[in-house]
């Protein structure tokens, strides 16, 4: 029985060698898999005028730019690459407001949003880069020609330094009416659907441009948009830490709750009328001090941690929301932990 096995081994070796001989790079039948890498462009075939050329056609046609996009058959949605990560651009909503949050400064975002309208060949009637405001000309959307539409785009600093927020408001009126000389923009869009479509389109456009994260393009004029973030950790006259949010109270309340939940800080209860959260907190524990944990431990759940009760106060005054923390009882590290709790809230706002 040994001889047949040896014979099979020799046959296998011979077969492998013959594969290289037949199908290798220098074999009788070399593989054409990589030939496309050396392919050269050839000029298009010219057919004499006396002969028919209708049977010849381009198999892969590069579409020409639309001659005019002043009339939008549909709100254009750039087709993103499915494998592209979109961590730096997202859409957030709260009540009746929706906006784009992007990991880039207003000076970087301004030229990209401007390029978006340029590619659609839609003229901007008004530009105010110092305040981050641009307004489109009147356009027609879809097959209906009884209305004209206009969009206002506002670019603001984000919650944290290096972030921006993009807001869009939609306005429309009848084509039978004269074009308004003075625009009175509403607080919210006339059509939430059209606002959402443009917002989605702009967010995809921003997400598909890598240079937004590499600061390769920035507007000097838009650089004067208020660079200070909407959230800042400051001290009052007594030296106590205060988290200042330049937001309306509704958004501040929701985002503080989300920050506490994201940080795994246990919320015992909350009272919106009293503007307080009652929480349990054990302090910030570094990774080296807590084996097995990834990053920091911000909140409840570990039996060997000494959790204390704290109250988070959310107070609105003169258009600014101030967040302070207070320990329910005095202890040696109460001052340090109240500051750490504010830091945790600040780092988890998004």
**What is the CATH classification number for the domain harbouring 94?**
3.30.530.50
Cβ of 150: how many Cβ atoms within 10 Å?
20
pLDDT at 338: 92
Are 281 and 174 in a shared domain?
no
pLDDT at 67: 34
Are 193 and 245 in a shared domain?
no
Specify the length of the chain in residues: 350
Residue 257 lies in a domain: yes
343: domain CATH number? 3.30.310.170
Give SS3 for 131: coil
Are 165 and 276 in a shared domain?
no
pLDDT at 192: 93
Q: For residue 69, give both structure tokens.
A: 């996009």
Residue 147 lies in a domain: yes
Distance CA 92, CA 164 (A): 12
String of b and e for 333-344 (b: at least 16 CB within 10 Å)?
Answer: ebeebbbbbbbb
Which residues does 323 contact at the CB level (< 8 Å), separation at least 6?
242, 243, 244, 245, 252, 256, 312, 313, 314, 315, 342, 345
Distance CA 211, CA 108 (A): 9
Q: Which of 193, 224, 255 is the last residue of a domain?
A: 224
Q: Which of 194, 224, 254 is the last residue of a domain?
A: 224
Are 180 and 293 in a shared domain?
no
C-alpha pair distances (Å), 150 with each of 155, 170, 171, 322 = 17, 6, 5, 36
Angle between helices 249-262 and 334-348 (to 10 degrees): 110
Are 256 and 323 in a shared domain?
yes
Residue pLDDT tens, the chain, 350 long? 544 554 455 555 555 555 554 455 666 556 666 665 666 666 666 656 555 443 444 444 444 443 333 455 555 544 433 333 335 899 999 888 999 999 998 989 999 999 999 999 999 999 999 899 999 999 888 766 789 999 999 999 999 888 999 999 999 999 888 888 888 999 999 999 999 999 999 999 999 885 555 545 565 655 556 566 899 988 888 888 899 999 999 999 999 999 999 999 999 999 999 999 999 999 987 655 544 443 344 444 455 678 999 999 999 988 899 999 999 888 888 889 999 999 999 999 98
Are 203 and 83 in a shared domain?
yes
Give the count of alpha carbons within 13 A of 150, CB side only.
22
pLDDT at 52: 45
Residue 249 lies in a domain: yes
Q: For residue 50, give both structure tokens.
A: 């006396």
Distance CA 201, CA 74 (A): 11
Are 255 and 315 in a shared domain?
yes
pLDDT at 80: 39
Are 110 and 255 in a shared domain?
no
Residue 264 lies in a domain: yes
Cβ of 191: how many Cβ atoms within 10 Å?
14
pLDDT at 47: 59
Q: Which of 205, 224, 243 is the last residue of a domain?
A: 224
pLDDT at 146: 86
Number of domains in the chain: 2
Residue 198 lies in a domain: yes
CA angle 178, 181, 184 (to 5 degrees): 105
Are 138 and 252 in a shared domain?
no
Are 301 and 251 in a shared domain?
yes
pLDDT at 144: 67
Residue 94 lies in a domain: yes
Residue 22 lies in a domain: no
Helix (H) or strand (E) holding 276: strand 276-281
Residue 29 lies in a domain: no
Residue 324: name the closest of 241, 260, 212 by CA. 241
Angle between helices 192-207 and 106-119 (to 10 degrees): 110
pLDDT at 180: 86
Residue 161: name the closest of 207, 237, 108 by CA. 108
Are 208 and 245 in a shared domain?
no
Q: Which domain holds residue 102?
A: 71-224
Are 165 and 290 in a shared domain?
no
């Amino acid at each position: 029985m040994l001889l047949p096995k040896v014979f099979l081994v020799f046959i296998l070796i011979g077969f492998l060698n013959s594969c290289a001989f037949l199908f290798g790079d220098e074999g009788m039948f070399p593989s054409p898999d990589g030939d496309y890498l050396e392919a050269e462009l050839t000029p298009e075939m010219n057919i004499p005028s006396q002969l028919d050329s209708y049977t010849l056609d381009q198999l892969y046609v590069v579409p020409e730019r639309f001659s005019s996009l002043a009339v939008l058959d549909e709100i254009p949605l750039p087709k993103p690459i499915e494998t592209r990560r979109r961590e730096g651009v997202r859409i957030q909503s709260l009540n009746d407001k929706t906006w784009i949050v992007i990991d880039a400064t207003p000076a970087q975002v301004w030229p990209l949003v401007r390029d978006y309208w340029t590619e659609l060949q839609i003229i901007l009637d008004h530009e105010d880069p110092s305040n981050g405001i641009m307004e489109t000309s009147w356009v027609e959307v879809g097959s209906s020609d009884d209305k004209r539409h206009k969009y206002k785009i506002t670019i603001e600093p984000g919650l944290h330094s290096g972030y921006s927020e993009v807001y869009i408001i939609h306005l429309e009126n009848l084509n039978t009416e004269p074009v308004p000389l003075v625009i009175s923009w509403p607080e919210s869009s006339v059509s939430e659907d059209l606002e959402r479509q443009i917002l989605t389109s702009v967010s995809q456009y921003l997400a598909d441009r890598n240079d937004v994260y590499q600061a390769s393009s920035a507007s000097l004029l838009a650089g004067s948009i208020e660079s200070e973030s909407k959230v800042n950790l400051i001290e009052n006259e007594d030296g106590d830490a205060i988290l200042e949010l330049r937001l309306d109270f509704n958004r501040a309340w929701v985002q503080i709750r989300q920050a506490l939940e994201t940080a795994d800080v246990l919320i015992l209860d909350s009272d919106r009328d009293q503007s307080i959260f009652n929480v349990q907190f054990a302090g910030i524990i570094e990774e080296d001090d807590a084996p097995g944990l990834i990053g920091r431990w911000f909140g409840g759940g570990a039996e060997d941690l000494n959790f204390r009760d704290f109250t988070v106060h959310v107070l609105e005054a003169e258009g600014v929301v101030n967040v302070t923390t207070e320990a329910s009882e005095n202890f040696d590290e109460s001052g340090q932990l109240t500051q750490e709790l504010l830091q945790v809230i600040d780092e988890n706002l998004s």
